Structure formats: C-alpha cells, structure tokens
Amino acid sequence: MPTTSTTDVVLREMGLRDGLQSIATFMPTAAKCAWISAEAAAGVREIEVTSFVPPKLLPQFADAEAVVAHALTVPGLTVAALIPNLRGAERGLALGVHKLNYVLSVSETHNMSNVRRSTQESVDDFRRIVAAVRAAPNRPRLCAGLATSFGCTFEGAIDEDRVRRIAVELAEAGADELALADTVGYGDPAAVRRLFAAVKRDVGDLPVGAHFHDTRGVGVANVMAALEVGVRAFDASLAGLGGCPFAPGATGNIVMEDTAFLCETLGYDTGVDIAALAKIRAILAENLPGTQLLGNVAKSGLPKHFVPARLRARREAAE
C-alpha cells in the first residue's frame, strides 16, 4: 500500500463506483482504466475503482477484476473497492485491493432494499469481515461507511443518536476508519457540523471521512462545515457523476473539481491539479454519451490569479 501522502485534505474519487452504478451504459474497461490513470496523474491519491457486488445485480462492475488489476499498477495510488458483504471482502482480499469500503445503511428500509438484511445483520457481517481481513496476509485498510446518516428517502429524518451508536459499534468492531454518508443529499451544514463533531468525539482518533451528494445544491457548503469540525477526507466524483439506484431522485456525488477548488482556496493542500482534472472529463463525455457532466470550475475555468494552497504556502514562507 502506498505511503500516506502529505496532503492536508484527501479527496477520494467515487465516480467509477458511485457514479457508474447509476448509469446503465457500460463504460468500456479500457476507458475506466484510462480514467484511473489520468486521475492519479492529476494528483488524486485514492480511488474507489469498482464494487464487488454480484455482476448479476450491477453489470457495470462485471469487469471488477480487470479494473483492479490495472489500478494496482498505478504508482502511489490507494486502490479502494466497495464491498457489500463478506463475499465481496473475499474477492477484494484475493485481488490485493489496498482498501475495502464496507457500506451499511443506518436506515433499516434503505439497508433492506440495498442488501436485503437488517442494519444489525450488516453490523454482524462487518465483524466477520474484520476477522477475515485480519487473517489476510496483506491486510488491507477497512473503512465502514454509514449510508443515509443525514436522512433517507424512505424514512425521512434519521435519529442522530442511532447514527452515533452504529458508528461506535463499527469502530469497536475494528474499522480502520469511518465514513458518514449523506447518500440522498438531505444533509445541511448545521447537521453536518453537529453529527461529525459528535461522532468524532465518540470514536476518538479514528479517522472519519465525509461522503456527500449534491442533490440540493449544498454539497460544498457541507464540505466547508465538515472542514470546520476537523474532517480531512472527502469522497467526490469527477463531473459530479453519481446517484443511487435504490434512492429515488438521488443525484451525483459532490463534484471533485469544485471540491478541490474550495479546499485549495481555503488553504488546504489537496495535491490535486484542478486544470488537469478538468481535462479528464473528456473520457466521460466520450464514453458516456448523454450523461450530464456537472461542475462549475471545469465549465468556467480557474480564476486568473488562482494559486494552489501548496504554492501559496511556499511563497509566503519565502517572503
């Protein structure tokens, strides 16, 4: 696994999984591989490259093995994959993925429609995954994601104490990190500030990342709120690709280019070259005809006076 980068904020590309899972058009394997290589070259250190759901359920990921094999050849890249269950974890372990992203839904209804079992059964499954991961010769990192932490299209509001309880349970079960996910874009900056602060207090040193969808236009405002309470890892997707096949009306992840821009202007070094990132959208445009590509920075370009946080810090130090 690559060494931890020195970036202040880690942006994790989700488009190849969260984005593509909601798109019926199969993106050719070669295009996925080109996307991964280009984005790593643009400075993105971590990419969730596929999902180990059965290809019968999501044919988009029928090429998971080939995509992972390619991603593992990309220097310095942390290769992550989504796992819905123990079987998925076993596939990831066999392939040597660096990081397994397990996801359960805090909302019972959402969990049931997603993986056909109760949230508690998913927590129990996580314990079996921890045991399997710990017994593996090349132990990958294991992240536990809490989907629908900020609300659910089936259930509406989600009890914050329930989110906290499940977060603690997953932490105690042996997660290396957690992610609180606003799967359907119900989150707002006040809720983000409150819940992340509470969960971070509850789990101590365990890293807690954020997974936001920009369904109602407050995606980057939520990033800002999470930054304020010490969150330093964000899931995003190039051109805002994304959604959820089990969450009606959900739209894409927050836009990678815009999120990088916000972080850099606030002085957080993302290690990402935003102009290079914007050029990669051509791969999506070519291979996913008819798919809407979102993002304001890519459409309008960077401001003339824009200087990345890292360069600005260096200049200030030299003055």
Closer to Zn ion at the Cβ: 243 or 271?
A: 243
Mode of pairing for the β-strands spanning 208-212 and 233-236: parallel
C-alpha–C-alpha distance, residues 196 and 50, integer Å: 27
Number of residues counted as binding Zn ion (CB under 5 A): 1
Q: Exposed e or buried b for every residue in 59-69, given b needs 16+ CB within 10 A?
A: ebbebbeebbe
In the complex, the smallest distance separating the C-beta of residue 138 from Zn ion, rounded to whole angstroms, is: 27
| Residues whose CB is less than 8 angstroms from the CB of residue 24 and which lie 6 or more positions away in sequence, other chains included | none
Inter-residue contact 5 to 232 (CB < 8 Å): no
C-alpha–C-alpha distance, residues 267 and 264, integer Å: 5
Segment contacting Zn ion by CB under 5 A, of 16-24, 26-34, 65-73, 288-296: 16-24
Is there a catalytic annotation at residue 244? yes
In the complex, the smallest distance separating the C-beta of residue 175 from Zn ion, rounded to whole angstroms, is: 18
Q: Give me the catalytic one of 33, 143, 152, 244.
A: 244
18 is a contact residue toward Zn ion (CB under 5 A): yes
The site map against Zn ion for 19-58 (x = CB under 5 A) is: ----------------------------------------
Closest Cα partner for 85 from 45, 125, 121, 55? 125
In the complex, the smallest distance separating the C-beta of residue 244 from Zn ion, rounded to whole angstroms, is: 6
Closer to Zn ion at the Cβ: 19 or 308?
A: 19
Closer to Zn ion at the Cβ: 15 or 140?
A: 15
Which residues of this chain interact with Zn ion, rule CB under 5 A?
Answer: 18
Catalytic residues: 244
